[in-house]
Amino acid sequence: MIESVDKDAVSVTMVSKINFMKNGFLPVAYLGVTKKDAFESSIDALIQAGAGIIQPVICEKSYPLEWNDAFKKRLARIVQGSQEQSKNYNLVKVLQPQKLSTLELGSALNVYFDAQGTSVFAVQNTAQNKAVNLFVGPEGGFSPNEIAFFEKNNFICCALTPTIMRTEQAALLAFGIFNLKQS
């Protein structure tokens, strides 16, 4: 409930809390940075699928992305529009892009997507009641060095389809499947 509004602040009181996740685990989306339009479409798709945390990842095949105030404001408008359209009112965080090698992944189940991987349905069962990090590559996929990094760090390679998908389609499908399994 909104208590008061002035030019510098809004004061609110929480009336009720809705737990959208039965077990408290919501996959974290790690999104390879792509061209601006595809990146924005991927953010939109992830939020519509229920994403709460989106970590852009700078990969070897990533496109340069100007992460300035104007772009952050544009992302905020995309987040708001996506939330309204999908009725996903979870708190959404789109984090500052980081290089793959600098990410702190904790003890979550780490999954990356490639057409040559294990079936998504086999991996999906492994993810039940676990924290999951989902890695979707940039246009052109992950490099051999990045795949070696994943293998060295015990990531699971998962196939969504037998074909190669666009980043925004793979992000939507991957997150939707794992989010459905977790809810």
User: For residue range 18-36, what is the model confidence (pLDDT) as tens digits?
Assistant: 333 434 557 899 999 999 9
* Per-residue pLDDT reduced to its tens digit, 45-92: 999 888 889 999 999 999 888 899 999 999 999 999 999 998 877 788
Which amino acid appears at position 89 of this protein?
Y
Which pTM value belongs to this model?
Answer: 0.83
Q: Which residues contact 108 (CB under 8 A, 6 or more apart)?
A: 28, 130, 131, 132, 133
Give yes or no for a contact between 33 and 65, defined as CB atoms under 8 angstroms apart.
yes
Provide the token pair at 91.
Answer: 């708190």
What are the CA-CA distances from residue 23 to residues 15, 45, 110 (Å)? 22, 23, 18
Region for 68 from its dihedrals, namely left if φ exceeds 0, alpha if ψ lies in -120 to 50, beta otherwise: beta
The percentage of residues in the chain with a pLDDT greater than 90, rounded to a whole number, is 56
Burial of 48 (0-12, 13-18, 19+ CB in 10 A): middle
Which domains does the chain show, CATH number per domain?
Answer: 21-182 (3.40.1280.10)
* pLDDT bracket for residue 2 (50, 70, 90): low
Per the prediction, the chain carries an average pLDDT of 85
